[in-house]
């Protein structure tokens, strides 16, 4: 940069930094930030609306678990040069690996529904009926994958989702009760109600999502990051996980400050109210733009990650640059998930509650897949010296067991007809 030009851009520098950060963003950062997708944003907003700041302490624990899980996946990929789909196929009996892939497919197909739901909800905020916007989005997304430039489109979607930077600003401008926030963030507590339990599982399901684990592993493999480059990749993964959850917590705080305690959300317009302190009457539009970007990005990334993992476990070619004829299985899986997602999202009903329920389903599937990841990362025959050490084993096992226990509790309550 020249001296002459220096003074003028200095005011824009923070934005430039953010853009530069995004430009060099590693797989870990992108994977974790893609976690703030339609399902994520709406679930965090629901948490804020329903229980104000009470879920913050849980989010703190979830952040620790997310860091542990994402790090294990990135490490597995860097040290073996293989994605999770391949490792599960090679290291587990064929039935177990079939189960894992089937669960991933179900979880991601469900998630794709919620991303299309997000597209529909966001376009309704911008004044377009979802019966128009969802079919168009389906065609556009599929065409980009089949014929277009994926990485440029990815950047465009990330740029749109930057609208959510408004959340931290809104959270501060809404003057949340700092004392309450600090108390609920740092003192261990749990609200004794089934609604809270279900929401807790949804929060875990949307934060520690199977597709993020599979995505970070395949991205590390694709970028040919090996053991030598792993330390910087590790930092990227951990920072990404923490940063993403900080944004998530700001969504909860902003929504809690604006409409906390008002009960479950019934529309995206209510969720958008949280941005009003920051941008005033532009809140619905800004929320709509952010939600659209996040949903579009995830509607592509989520089905991609399961198609990639399943194609990898079958050992066939898989790449967005391969073309349909060279990678028919990959494209077949991708198309199926996209079509199922768009079709279900078009069904009439309350999109927000559908999206939150899908996060619960993800919350149930997540612990099963985490067990696979944990076993792989513990195995010396897979990772050699990079396998989990004793302390890490205990920490990771505690994370997986607690997530599984919460999910199991919800299943039992649902079965008893309580939740």
Partner 1 sequence: MTSLALRPVPRGVLRRSPLRKRHKRRLAGDGELLSVAGLVGSPVLDADGRRVGRIEDLVVERSPDATHPRLRGAIVRHRRSRMLAPAEGFTALKADSLHLAGELRAASRATGAIPLAHGVLDRQIVDAEGTDVTRVSDLLLGRTPGGIRLVGVDVSTRTLLRRLGPAPLRRRIARNRIYDWTSVAAFSERDDSAAGSVLRLTSSVADLRGHGPADVDALLTELPPHEREALAGEVSAT
Residues near partner 1 (CB under 8 A) are 79-82, 86-87, 89-91, 94-95, 98, 313-318, 325-326, 328, 381-383
**Least CB distance to partner 1 at residue 213 (A):** 17
Whole-number Å distance between alpha carbons of 65 and 208? 8
**Least CB distance to partner 1 at residue 142 (A):** 20
The nearer residue to partner 1, 264 or 329, going by C-beta atoms, is 329
Whole-number Å distance between alpha carbons of 190 and 316? 46
Whole-number Å distance between alpha carbons of 45 and 55? 11
**Residue listed under structure tokens 């990051």:** 225
**Residue listed under structure tokens 């910087």:** 232
The nearer residue to partner 1, 80 or 255, going by C-beta atoms, is 80
Kindly state the DSSP code that residue 280 receives in the 8-state scheme: G
The nearer residue to partner 1, 93 or 348, going by C-beta atoms, is 93
The nearer residue to partner 1, 91 or 266, going by C-beta atoms, is 91
**Least CB distance to partner 1 at residue 377 (A):** 11
**Least CB distance to partner 1 at residue 226 (A):** 9
Whole-number Å distance between alpha carbons of 108 and 214? 11
Count of alpha carbons within 13 angstroms of residue 15, beta-carbon side: 8
**Least CB distance to partner 1 at residue 230 (A):** 14
Whole-number Å distance between alpha carbons of 328 and 258? 48
Q: What is the 3-state secondary structure (H, E, C) of 328-343?
A: HHHHHHHHHHHHHHHH
Closest CA to 359 of 207, 250, 160, 218: 207
The nearer residue to partner 1, 81 or 261, going by C-beta atoms, is 81
The nearer residue to partner 1, 96 or 165, going by C-beta atoms, is 96
**Least CB distance to partner 1 at residue 82 (A):** 7
The nearer residue to partner 1, 96 or 169, going by C-beta atoms, is 96
Instruction: Please return the burial class of 389, using the count of CB atoms within 10 Å of its CB with bins 0-12, 13-18 and 19+.
Output: exposed
The nearer residue to partner 1, 135 or 328, going by C-beta atoms, is 328
**Least CB distance to partner 1 at residue 315 (A):** 3
Kindly state the DSSP code that residue 148 receives in the 8-state scheme: S
The nearer residue to partner 1, 243 or 386, going by C-beta atoms, is 386
**Least CB distance to partner 1 at residue 374 (A):** 16
The nearer residue to partner 1, 168 or 227, going by C-beta atoms, is 227
The nearer residue to partner 1, 57 or 98, going by C-beta atoms, is 98
- If one counts every other C-beta atom within 10 angstroms of the C-beta of residue 105, the result is 18
Kindly state the DSSP code that residue 323 receives in the 8-state scheme: -
Q: Which residues of 236-261 are buried (b: 16+ CB within 10 A; e: fewer)?
A: bbbbbbebbbebbbbbbbbbbbbbbe
**Least CB distance to partner 1 at residue 152 (A):** 26
Whole-number Å distance between alpha carbons of 20 and 15? 9
**Least CB distance to partner 1 at residue 387 (A):** 11
Q: Does residue 42 contact residue 343 with C-beta atoms inside 8 Å?
A: no
Q: What is the radius of gyration, based on Cα positions, of the chain? A: 21
Whole-number Å distance between alpha carbons of 69 and 67? 6
**Least CB distance to partner 1 at residue 379 (A):** 8
- If one counts every other C-beta atom within 10 angstroms of the C-beta of residue 280, the result is 9
């Amino acid at each position: 940069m020249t001296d002459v030009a220096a003074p003028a851009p200095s005011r824009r520098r923070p934005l430039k930094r953010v853009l530069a950060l995004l430009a060099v963003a590693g797989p870990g950062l992108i994977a974790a930030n893609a976690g703030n997708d339609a399902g994520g944003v709406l679930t965090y907003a629901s948490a804020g609306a329903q229980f104000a700041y009470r879920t913050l302490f849980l989010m703190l624990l979830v952040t620790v678990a997310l860091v542990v899980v994402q790090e294990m996946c990135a490490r597995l990929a860097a040290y073996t040069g293989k994605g999770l789909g391949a490792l599960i196929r090679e290291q587990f009996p064929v039935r177990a690996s079939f189960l894992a892939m089937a669960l991933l497919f179900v979880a991601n197909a469900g998630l794709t529904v919620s991303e299309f739901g997000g597209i529909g909800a966001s376009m309704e905020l911008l004044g377009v009926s979802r019966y128009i916007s969802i079919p168009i989005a389906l065609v556009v997304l599929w065409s980009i994958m089949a014929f277009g430039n994926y990485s440029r489109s990815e950047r465009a979607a990330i740029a749109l989702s930057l609208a959510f930077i408004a959340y931290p600003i809104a959270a501060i401008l809404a003057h949340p009760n700092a004392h309450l926030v600090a108390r609920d963030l740092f003192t261990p507590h749990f609200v004794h109600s089934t609604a809270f339990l279900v929401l807790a599982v949804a929060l875990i399901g949307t934060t520690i999502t199977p597709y993020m684990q599979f995505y970070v592993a395949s991205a590390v493999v694709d970028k040919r990051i090996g053991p030598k480059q792993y330390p910087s990749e590790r930092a990227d993964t951990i920072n990404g996980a923490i940063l993403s959850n900080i944004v998530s917590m700001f969504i909860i705080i902003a929504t809690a400050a604006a409409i906390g305690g008002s009960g479950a959300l019934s529309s995206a317009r209510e969720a958008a109210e949280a941005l009003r302190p920051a941008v005033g009457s532009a809140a619905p539009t800004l929320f709509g733009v952010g939600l659209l970007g996040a949903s579009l990005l995830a509607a592509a990334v989520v089905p991609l990650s399961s198609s990639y993992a399943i194609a990898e476990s079958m050992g066939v070619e898989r790449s967005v640059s391969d073309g349909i004829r060279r990678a028919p299985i990959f494209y077949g899986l991708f198309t199926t998930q996209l079509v199922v997602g768009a079709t279900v999202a078009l069904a009439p009903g309350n999109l927000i509650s559908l999206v939150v329920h899908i996060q619960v389903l993800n919350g149930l599937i997540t612990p099963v897949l985490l067990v696979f990841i944990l076993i792989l990362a513990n195995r010396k025959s897979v990772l050699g010296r990079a396998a989990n050490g004793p302390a890490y084993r205990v920490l990771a096992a505690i994370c997986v067991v607690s997530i599984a226990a919460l999910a199991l509790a919800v299943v039992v309550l649902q079965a008893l007809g309580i939740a």
